């Protein structure tokens, strides 16, 4: 009865929580997935590659995309725009993939409103604020001013943790990855409401 359908896994949490490391760690174990590459107006960081880590765009280009309704969701984070383009997500869902988003808490809410029936959300955090500060400093890709902004943002974001289905403390990478793997595999079991309704109709008629 269940045809192929794509599902969504939202990962949120402060920069420095280790979301990218976690995804890398579980990528071989979660089947066919599509990692959504966001568009942003923030400056490119050392080591980042255009169209791999983000589609880096100017404010004007981004605002044009907003006007043309090209985003599934977008938000202003740390004073820069970040957004998810609709087209590639639609295609990945139609192909039956697990679509993974690394987006902020505002994005999670927007996705929940639009694709709630097929979405599983996870908030990832380091064990403490001081550990987050240490990780951001060690990464040394950001200025002190940027680090301070990210820390302030993290304090605000963690207040919204109850909006998520799961909460993972990334203290030990192996342990956190093992939990996330189970969540990602379970996320695939979600069935869109319209499919369920069609099934119920057929079930009553037989």
Q: What proportions of the chain, in percent to the nearest 5, are helix, strand and coil?
A: 50, 20, 30
**Which one among 8, 10, 26, 77 touches ligand 5GP, defined by CB under 6 A?**
77
In the region spanning residues 151 to 180, those forming contacts with ligand 5GP, defined by CB under 6 A, are none
- Is the separation of the CB atoms in 126 and 16 below 8 Å? yes
- Among candidates 42, 52, 106, which has minimal Cα distance to 75? 106
Q: Is 103 in the site for ligand 5GP (CB under 6 A)?
A: yes
Number of residues that bind ligand 5GP (CB under 6 A): 15
**Residue 53 or 195 having the CB closest to ligand 5GP:** 53
Q: Is 65 in the site for ligand 5GP (CB under 6 A)?
A: no
**Residue 34 or 195 having the CB closest to ligand 5GP:** 34
Quote the DSSP letter at residue 192: -
**Which one among 25, 34, 42, 160 touches ligand 5GP, defined by CB under 6 A?**
42
**Residue 77 or 98 having the CB closest to ligand 5GP:** 77
DSSP string across 116-177: GGGEEEEEEE-S-HHHHHHHHHHH--S-HHHHHHHHHHHHHHHTTGGGSSEEEE-SSHHHHH
The residues of the shown chain that bind ligand 5GP, judged by CB under 6 A, are: 12, 15, 38, 42, 73, 75, 77, 82-84, 102-104, 106-107
């Amino acid at each position: 009865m269940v045809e192929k359908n794509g599902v969504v896994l939202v990962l949120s949490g402060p920069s420095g929580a280790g979301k990218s490391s976690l995804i890398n760690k579980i990528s071989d174990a979660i089947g066919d997935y599509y990692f959504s590459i966001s568009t942003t107006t923030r400056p490119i960081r050392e080591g980042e590659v255009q169209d791999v880590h983000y589609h880096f765009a100017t404010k004007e280009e981004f605002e044009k995309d907003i006007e043309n309704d090209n985003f599934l969701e977008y938000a202003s984070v740390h004073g820069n725009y970040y957004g998810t383009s609709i087209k590639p997500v639609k295609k990945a869902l139609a192909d039956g993939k697990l679509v993974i988003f690394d987006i902020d808490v505002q994005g999670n809410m927007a996705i929940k409103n639009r694709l709630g029936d097929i979405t599983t959300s996870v908030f990832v955090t380091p064990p403490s604020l001081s550990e987050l500060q240490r990780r951001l400093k060690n990464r040394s890709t950001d200025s002190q001013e940027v680090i301070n902004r990210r820390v302030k943002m993290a304090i605000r974001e963690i207040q919204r943790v109850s909006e998520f289905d799961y909460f993972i403390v990334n203290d030990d990478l192996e342990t956190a990855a093992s939990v996330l793997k189970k969540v990602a595999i379970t996320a695939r079991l979600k069935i869109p409401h319209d499919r369920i309704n069609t099934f119920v109709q057929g079930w009553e008629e037989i």
